[in-house]
Amino acid sequence: MLDQIEPAIQNYQRAVEQSSRGAPDDDFLANTARIGLGTSYRIKGEAFYRLDDSAGAQLWIAEAVNTLEAAAQSLAGSQDYRVRAQAYQGLGTAYDWQAFLNGNTPAALQQALSAYNQCIEQGDLSPLDTFLKDDIIAKLCAPAVNRLTATPGVGP
């Protein structure tokens, strides 16, 4: 699995670098690529966890958190609510994994819950976007909020 994720990481890194060079549309592309890069880092962290390498898992999950936080911060004020929701969903999942790897501390779980709730809030800001509501929020963010509030301490 690690050999399959590495080319994706390299491609997303290249996309972030190339799209961070100037034109206004490049911000959108850079943020979208950052979300993909952060998600790829999280998947790599999950792979390390499944290979019983906790230190490697924590390293890559932390990298995912840093990358997705940067994407979410860069999207603040953007009216592309679907992309913002994707950033918050990815960040929530990365925080969820970080909490899981660190013994599900309440503070860490709260970060995950907050990111998932921010994902859900994007649907209120874009009420006509059915993909956002039906696919991102209903299938990813809302179930995560329900899981974290119903049974705190249950990992991703």
Q: Among residues 20, 23, 43, 40, which one has the least CA distance to residue 31?
A: 20
3-state secondary structure (DSSP) of residue 53: coil
pTM recorded for the entire structure? 0.91
Amino acid at 45: G
pLDDT tens, 83-139? Answer: 999 999 999 999 999 999 999 888 889 999 999 999 999 999 998 999 999 999 999
Instruction: Kindly report the average pLDDT of the chain as a whole number.
Output: 91
Cβ atoms of 91 and 113 within 8 Å: the answer is no
Q: Which helix (H) or strand (E) holds 20?
A: none
Cβ atoms of 129 and 123 within 8 Å: the answer is yes
Domains along the chain with CATH numbers: 2-150 (1.25.40.10)
DSSP 154: -
pLDDT tens, 59-85? Answer: 999 999 999 999 999 998 888 999 999
Q: Which two tokens stand for residue 54?
A: 């906790």
Helix, strand counts (H, E) of the chain: 7, 0
pLDDT tens, 35-56? Answer: 999 999 999 999 999 999 999 9
Cβ atoms of 41 and 9 within 8 Å: the answer is yes
Would the pLDDT of 24 be above 60? no
| Mean pLDDT of all residues in 138-142 | 96
129 φψ region: left (φ > 0), alpha (ψ -120 to 50), beta (else)? beta
